[in-house]
């Protein structure tokens, strides 16, 4: 059975069929799903999903693109409260995103550091978003010892050299639908290099549908296509990929199943 380590079922694109879709996941071979938060509202919604379904867990944290949420007095305390919930398995999705011009990079770095400190304080792993921001992401993690409780570099998008730095810190790499893309050569090289014991599967749904569904709404049932591609690149069976990445997910998120 597969564990989807990063999904967004609170997204409005699931409003019409969310319950039906989630209840179908077991027959699609998906054992558990971790819903990632991006905004403060996303944290509340993700917590609600984790309380409703016994196969769902959640991440509490603010995405860099929504870092201004944390400039509002009291909101960081709310994140901390939810991060301590028993169904919260990590602080996330947090990090840096320099693809966009806003919010200001100083604001992004300030709240990335604060949320890394929070994870260390409550002794939970982190789920990190890093886009076009490797150097600052790496330096901040190193300076804050943000690696101490482990974690996942979500939707890994850098090359082998950057992968080596994160792997040496003890991080897992979150691998999703991009691995199946024809233009996903760089990620394929990373997957060939990285130890299977430091890889976890994710969808980031409703985004990043794998081939042959690229461009359509993604869901956890499509994660099998990522597992298949990973098995081909590693020259091992899909069963081994699924078994090992499941064990990795349970270990990094400290989930007992």
State pLDDT tens for residues 98-129: 999 899 999 999 999 999 999 999 999 999 99
Q: Bridge-partner residues for 153, per DSSP?
A: 128, 173
Q: Kindly state the tokens that stand for 95.
A: 């990090």
| Ranges assigned E (strand) in the chain | 2-7, 30-35, 56-60, 88-97, 126-131, 151-153, 172-175, 199-201
- The pLDDT tens digits along the chain (257 residues) read 999 999 999 999 999 999 999 999 999 999 999 999 999 999 999 999 999 999 999 999 999 999 999 999 999 999 999 999 999 999 999 999 999 989 999 999 999 999 999 999 999 999 999 999 999 999 999 999 999 999 999 999 999 999 999 999 999 999 999 999 999 999 999 999 999 999 999 999 999 999 999 999 999 999 999 999 999 999 999 999 999 999 999 999 999 87
Spatial CA neighbour of 206 closest among 35, 55, 58, 44:
35
What whole-number distance in Å separates Cα of residue 147 and Cα of residue 164? 14
Domain that holds residue 100: 2-253
Q: Positive or negative CA dihedral for 110, 111, 116, 120?
A: positive
Check which CATH number belongs to the domain holding 170 and give it: 3.20.20.140
Q: How many domains does the chain have?
A: 1
For 173, residues 6+ apart whose C-beta sits below 8 A from its C-beta are 152, 153, 156, 163, 166, 167, 190, 194, 198, 199, 200
């Amino acid at each position: 059975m597969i564990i989807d380590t990063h999904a967004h079922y609170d997204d409005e694109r699931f409003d019409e069929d969310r319950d039906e879709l989630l209840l179908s996941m077991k027959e699609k071979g998906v054992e558990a799903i971790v819903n990632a938060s991006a905004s403060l509202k996303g944290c509340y919604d993700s917590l609600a999903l984790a309380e409703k379904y016994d196969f769902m867990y959640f991440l509490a944290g603010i995405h860099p693109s929504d870092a201004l949420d944390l400039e509002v007095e009291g909101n960081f305390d709310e994140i901390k409260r939810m991060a301590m919930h028993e169904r919260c398995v990590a602080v996330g999705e947090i990090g840096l995103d320099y693809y966009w011009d806003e919010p200001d990079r100083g604001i992004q770095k300030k709240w990335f550091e604060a949320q890394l400190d929070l994870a260390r304080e409550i002794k939970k792993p982190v789920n990190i978003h890093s886009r076009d921001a490797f150097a600052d992401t790496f330096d901040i993690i190193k300076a804050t010892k943000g690696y101490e409780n482990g974690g996942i570099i979500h939707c890994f998008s850098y090359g082998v050299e950057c992968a080596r730095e994160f792997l040496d810190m003890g991080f897992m790499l979150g691998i999703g639908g991009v691995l199946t893309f024809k233009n996903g050569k760089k990620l394929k090289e990373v997957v060939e290099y990285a130890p299977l014991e430091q890889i976890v599967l994710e969808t980031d749904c409703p985004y990043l549908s794998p081939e042959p569904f690229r461009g359509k709404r993604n869901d956890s049932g499509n994660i099998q296509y990522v597992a298949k591609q990973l098995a081909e690149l590693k020259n091992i069976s899909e069963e081994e990929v699924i078994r090992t990445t499941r064990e990795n997910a349970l270990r990094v998120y400290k989930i007992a199943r």
